[in-house]
Amino acid sequence: MSPLHQAKIVDSHCHLDFPEFLEELDQVIERARQAGVNRMVTICTKPSKNRATLDIVEQYPEVYFAQGIHPHYAATEPKLSVDELLALSVHPKMIGIGESGLDYYYTKETAKSQQDSFLNHIMASQVSGLPLIVHSRNADEDMASILKREYGKKPFSCVMHCFSSGRKLAEECLEMGFYLSFSGILTFRSAIELQEIFLSTPRDKILIETDSPYLAPVPFRGKRNEPAFVSKIADFGASLLNLEKEAFAELTTTNFYRLFSTAG
């Protein structure tokens, strides 16, 4: 099908600066266009990758970015202060703060550094008005506690990226008006609980993403992921909700622009 006749889809979270894309980024972007993907948000996970990220967003009109420190790097990279995050946010194509958050699966021993870094990102979101992009893995209790406490001080907008946590955290985030973004994990046969959470999420709070180059959806599971494959996540999400793909694409694209209102 011609891209002119396809539903327009957004990949709300990918990592185009990663080495897996280095040799063929032009082709990756073109395949995304052919699949109907007209917006991509590439996530810069540490300050040392900022220049590479800027090179990408300045080359490709449909690519925007967010800047933060991934929790994996919270103890090894120089911390980004609130002022530093705010200074970065003046770039016209920076539309979010993050990803930041808590990951106790791989790096629980750095929990204190992760929490300190996360608080800076939350404050930058509160001050700038840009949405916070949250990474959370095996840290539901601490994540809920921090988000609720800081939201109570001053509300902020937020998306829980690549949501794969439990129902309780999903409900607590939705109560604060946050969005849940679903990745290729949603398509996995084993993801029954996640599919149930997806079905119970208000439709106006659903986003989709690839988190590429990781977590390729079925039928590409085990291969390198890329933004074009968000179309397969849209296919699956639409089928779960008994919607036509075009309706689901329009729904999630509308949600994206409601949250990321500076994305052109």
194-252 pLDDT per residue, tens: 999 999 999 999 999 999 999 999 999 999 999 999 999 999 999 999 999 999 999 99
Residues in CB range of 127: below 8 A, 6 or more apart: 82, 86
Give the side-chain half-sphere CA count within 13 A for 171.
Answer: 6
- With respect to residue 2, please indicate whether it lies within any of the assigned structural domains: no
Position 1 confidence tier, pLDDT thresholds 50, 70, 90: very low
Q: Which token pair is 72?
A: 């994996």
21, 213 contact by CB (below 8 A):
yes
Give the integer Cα–Cα distance in Å for 213 and 17.
Answer: 10
3-class secondary structure, 122: helix
- With respect to residue 4, please indicate whether it lies within any of the assigned structural domains: no
142, 165 contact by CB (below 8 A):
no
What percent of the chain is helix, strand and coil (3-state, nearest 5)?
Answer: 50, 15, 35
- Report the CATH number that the domain containing residue 114 is assigned in CATH: 3.20.20.140
Give the integer Cα–Cα distance in Å for 133 and 98.
Answer: 5
The pTM of the full predicted model, rounded to 2 decimals, is: 0.96
According to the model, what pLDDT value does residue 6 have?
64
Give the integer Cα–Cα distance in Å for 181 and 164.
Answer: 9
Q: The domain containing residue 81 runs over which residues?
A: 10-259
State how beta strands 37-44 and 132-137 pair.
unpaired
Q: How many separate domains does the chain show?
A: 1
- With respect to residue 227, please indicate whether it lies within any of the assigned structural domains: yes
- With respect to residue 264, please indicate whether it lies within any of the assigned structural domains: no
The chain-wide mean pLDDT, for the chain, equals 96
Q: Which token pair is 205?
A: 């709070």
